[in-house]
Amino acid sequence: MSDADSRAMAAHMMMTPLRPATAPDSIRAASIAVELRAAIEKYRNVKRAEADGFKMFAPQIKNQRVYHFTKGLWAIESQFRFDPAKPTSLLYRRDPQGQFVLIGAMYTAPKRFSVADLDERVPTSIAQWHKHVNWCVPRLGSRSRWTEVKNGRPVFGPLGVSTRRECESADGRFHEEVLGWMVHVNVFEKDVWGDHHMRGDELGMGER
């Protein structure tokens, strides 16, 4: 991403602060990763995931860096309890041949959660939870406006305007928060708790 894109993304992202890690944190995080890896191993074949109820998020966005396949029932359950073996979404990349390769999963939590609440699920010394904020989106029935630009910059979405005044001026709908808290666990990559979101991976950022 360009510097301008990085600044724009920062205006639309809230992330939990990293606190000093402890040995119990590391043990708990490792345990979560081990349980998750065992639970989703069977979904290396994306068709098995689809057969079990996972559906691709935003299929209209082409060439996504990370594809999210979400299971609605588990997303609902995550609003009330945390089960390391039941992530809200599975995360895939495409290989050079265009095949989906499973890299991990995403957990979610309610918007209302405090950092302490999130820490009880996944230690915030090991991973940074995030949520998307200050979004301007086109009004209903105006999907074609998603690609609109002004002064060379996007108007809508994760790189668009970030204030209510700018959004209303563009005749859009402003959302202070989009969805809830999220955290990626890349159990099939070297950087298990690494963060990709400031590069736009969370939202596709590919060709529409």
State the Rg of the chain over Cα: 17
For position 199, what pLDDT does the model report?
Answer: 47
Q: If pLDDT is split at 50, 70 and 90, which confidence band does 201 have?
A: very low
**Predicted confidence (pLDDT) per residue in 7-49, tens digit:** 777 778 889 999 999 999 999 999 999 999 999 999 999 999 9
The total of other beta-carbon atoms located within 10 Å of residue 98's CB is: 6
Structure token digits, residue 143: 């999907």
- Strands of the chain (E only): list them: 13-15, 55-56, 67-70, 89-94, 100-109, 130-138, 149-150, 153-154, 172-185
* Ordered alpha helix ranges (H), 113-196: 115-121, 164-169
Structure token digits, residue 63: 């060439």
| Predicted structure pTM score | 0.83
Q: If pLDDT is split at 50, 70 and 90, which confidence band does 1 have?
A: low
Structure token digits, residue 75: 């997303």
For residue 119, the SS3 value is helix
Q: Give the mean pLDDT of 171-175.
A: 94
